[in-house]
Amino acid sequence: MTPIAGGVALNLAFGFSILTIIVLFLYTRYGDERLFLTGQRLALGVSFFVFLATFILSYQLLISNFDIDYVARYTSLETPFIYKISALWAGQSGSLLFWLFILSIYATITILQNQSKHHTLMPWVIICLAIIQLFFLVLTNFITNPFMPTEAEFIVTNGNGLNPLLQNVTMAIHPPTLYLGYVGFSVPFAFAISALINKDTSPLWIQSIRRWTLVAWLFLSSGIILGGWWAYQELGWGGYWAWDPVENASFMPWLTATAFLHSIIIQEKKDMLRIWNMVLIILTFTLCIFGTFLTRSGVMSSVHSFTASSLGPIFLVFVFLILIVSFSIMYINRNDLKSKKRMESFTSRESGFLFNNLVFVVMCFSVFWGTLFPVISEAVRGTKITVGPPFFNQINIPIGLILLALTGIGPLLAWRKTGKQSLIKNFTFPILSGLIGASFFIFIGLKGTVVISFSLCVFVLATISKEFARGILARTKKFNETIITAFYRMISKNRSRYGGYIVHVGIVFMFVGFTGHAFDKEKEFSLKVGETDHVAGYEFTLLKMSESERPNHYAWISDIRVTDNKGAFVTNLYPEKRVYFHKNPDVNRRQPHSELDIYSTLNQDIYSIFSAVDTENSIAFIKIMVNPLVRWVWIGGYILVIGTMIALWPRKD
């Protein structure tokens, strides 16, 4: 019964979502509270049926019911428990259901949280969310249904199993995190559209969506970092970011969302940039749908895309509809969005924020252009011209450095206008720190962009330290507190501000890690047991090569001893060459895979890849990469998450 129940649940969710839209629309016309209550409950019903369908599919994956095509395609009897769960988002229809599932969680929270809040906004908020749910329900009901039965004319005794690249714990966490980010922007988008329709420009809803945006931003940032971590430890090319279309798809909404998070502060505090904020949140949500389109349509080839389908045109139509409808509503209500206040000075925090916003949007456009250029060139000239990392790096490194500089400049500017004396007073310490840093980096032999990047990191850290010091001093003076008490109370009473600064520290550490990429070294070689080779001052000796048969793969494991140039022991590395589905009688269905081993320190990573094995002659083909400062990227990521959580933590009023 249950697989059929899954399909029926999706049908009912589809019907309920249409009813939600109709009933709430009638409420906005006639104002009968019974309609509002029914609409709310219908929307909760949509979520309930989506939860039910997701639960049923997950259960079918766990019990390996190969009568369902999706289960047979993405799991096998050998698939470990955790990957049977993660198979839910490994394929097309499952991942769309999963998108819908997360959206339904958000929709439920939004409805329950706002039962006695935003009464005028909520009908349109729910309508917007129901329309987005309806789109995904159309896909999962009529285009790519996850409950379709297996087409084979025989009893399927075992499934295909999950792609080995996806059999990684990070990969089990990364897509849900990223989806929580993508989908999370639906809520601020829905609030923004509702506020536009209701001509509501009060700061109350802005405060609500700021929190929602921060939640979505936290998940999107964590998802991007986890994706980089997965690529680094699983794909075996030694990097974490390759300007791949799917990576870019998540980066673009991150850029506009980051701009939005900054500019909404101006609207909250100064009631400025209303139109700009609307544009940013509409763009962010549209880019999230566009990102799902890039990942799911197969229009771009990507190391992160594990599905290809004909969903592209449907997604594109939805993207255009969002843009046309949203900007039309905005145009109709343009007079209500005009702010009475104007920027008064170039040297003000407001203009600092605006400039930072413009740079974020320029960066987003450059990534958008580079990502879509192959498709555009093919459409216009008939030849697919791919732009690779050199294009993106050439444009985005300078823009990134400008953003880094602005991270340091912004907090030093006062609201409305910064006087000449204040400018000198505020900038002296950070600029001096940056210059001392630059002299030191040049002295130790660094050059060019590397010096600029490291010096800017010093400059920004100096600014943030100064901000913390100013805050602590002000409290110790005003409230006669000790430094520790002042530090604690300053953060707890201004979580959003100081959480933001902590996020900036995380970003600085990530830039330190990015800059380390300039010093990467690599070498490929083959070793027999007992043989040695050298890379970047380290000696690599193959001590032994063993074999092991595990539940879902067969592995050759190399044991490599690493010593430094003085002969001191550093570590042992155990990279593996694996063959997944090794028991499959069809040799072509067996999948080779290299499992890396990484020795990581704050200074550098030693990254080993077991590329191939010659079993007859016991030769291991090894690739070693020495990547300086990579760990700072992940440390920066942790700090970013901590900072955002501080900013998000509820405060006592």
Tokens (6 digits) for 284: 């962010």
| Residue of 388, 419, 537, 592 interacting with other proteins (CB under 8 A) | 419
Stretch that binds other proteins, among 27-35, 75-83, 578-586, 587-595 (CB under 8 A): 27-35
E strand or H helix at 624:
strand 619-628
Stretch that binds other proteins, among 2-10, 168-176, 330-338, 436-444 (CB under 8 A): 2-10
Is 436 an interacting residue with respect to other proteins (CB under 8 A)? no
Is 493 an interacting residue with respect to other proteins (CB under 8 A)? yes
Is 119 an interacting residue with respect to other proteins (CB under 8 A)? yes
Please list, in sequence order, all residues whose beta carbon lies within 8 angstroms of the beta carbon of residue 312, skipping any fewer than 6 positions away: 293, 297, 298, 299
Please list, in sequence order, all residues whose beta carbon lies within 8 angstroms of the beta carbon of residue 485, skipping any fewer than 6 positions away: none
Nearer to other proteins, 8 or 85 (CB): 8
Is 49 an interacting residue with respect to other proteins (CB under 8 A)? yes
Positive/negative CA dihedral, 577, 581, 585, 588: negative
Q: How many of the other CB atoms lie within 10 Å of CB of 400?
A: 18
Is 1 an interacting residue with respect to other proteins (CB under 8 A)? yes
Nearer to other proteins, 42 or 183 (CB): 42
The Cβ-side half-sphere exposure at 274, using a 13 Å CA radius, reads: 23
The residue with tokens 């201004």 is 494
x/- track of binding to other proteins for residues 633-652 (CB under 8 A): --------------------
Within 434-590, strands assigned E span 521-528, 532-535, 538-550, 553-563, 569-573, 576-580
Is 537 an interacting residue with respect to other proteins (CB under 8 A)? no
CB of 408 to other proteins, least distance (A): 15
Q: Would strands 521-528 and 619-628 be described as parallel, antiparallel, or unpaired?
A: antiparallel
Nearer to other proteins, 42 or 246 (CB): 42
| Residue of 384, 447, 470, 528 interacting with other proteins (CB under 8 A) | 470
Rounded Cα gap, residues 342 and 84, in angstroms = 56
Task: Give, as ranges, the residues between 203 and 232 that touch other proteins (CB under 8 A).
Answer: 203-204, 207
Nearer to other proteins, 188 or 245 (CB): 188
CB of 42 to other proteins, least distance (A): 5
Rounded Cα gap, residues 362 and 89, in angstroms = 32
Rounded Cα gap, residues 169 and 218, in angstroms = 20
Q: Which of 226, 256, 254, 222 is nearest to 241 (CA)?
A: 226
Exposed/middle/buried for residue 401 (C-beta within 10 Å: 0-12, 13-18, 19+): middle
| Residue of 474, 483, 543, 602 interacting with other proteins (CB under 8 A) | 474
| Residue of 85, 143, 414, 635 interacting with other proteins (CB under 8 A) | 414
Rounded Cα gap, residues 366 and 397, in angstroms = 11
Nearer to other proteins, 52 or 183 (CB): 52
| Residue of 253, 471, 516, 643 interacting with other proteins (CB under 8 A) | 471
Nearer to other proteins, 38 or 144 (CB): 38
Stretch that binds other proteins, among 68-76, 380-388, 467-475, 516-524 (CB under 8 A): 467-475
Residues that contact other proteins, how many (by CB under 8 A) = 46
Q: What is the DSSP string of 11-77?
A: HHHHHHHHHHHHHHHHHHHH--HHHHHHHHHHHHHHHHHHHHHHHHHHHHHHTT-TTBHHHHHH--T
Nearer to other proteins, 38 or 92 (CB): 38
Residue 601: alpha-carbon gap to chain centroid: 25
Is 117 an interacting residue with respect to other proteins (CB under 8 A)? yes
| Residue of 29, 30, 34, 155 interacting with other proteins (CB under 8 A) | 34
Rg (CA), the chain: 27
Is 494 an interacting residue with respect to other proteins (CB under 8 A)? yes
Stretch that binds other proteins, among 96-104, 115-123, 229-237, 308-316 (CB under 8 A): 115-123
Is 398 an interacting residue with respect to other proteins (CB under 8 A)? no
CB of 187 to other proteins, least distance (A): 18
Is 41 an interacting residue with respect to other proteins (CB under 8 A)? yes
Please list, in sequence order, all residues whose beta carbon lies within 8 angstroms of the beta carbon of residue 223, skipping any fewer than 6 positions away: 174, 175, 177, 178, 179, 180, 181, 250
Stretch that binds other proteins, among 6-14, 189-197, 276-284, 505-513 (CB under 8 A): 6-14
Stretch that binds other proteins, among 43-51, 62-70, 366-374, 597-605 (CB under 8 A): 43-51
Rounded Cα gap, residues 272 and 357, in angstroms = 14
* Residues near other proteins, by CB under 8 A: 1, 5, 8-9, 12, 16, 32-34, 37-38, 41-42, 45, 48-49, 52, 116-119, 202-204, 207, 269, 349, 414-417, 419, 422, 426, 467, 470-471, 473-475, 477-478, 493-494, 497, 653
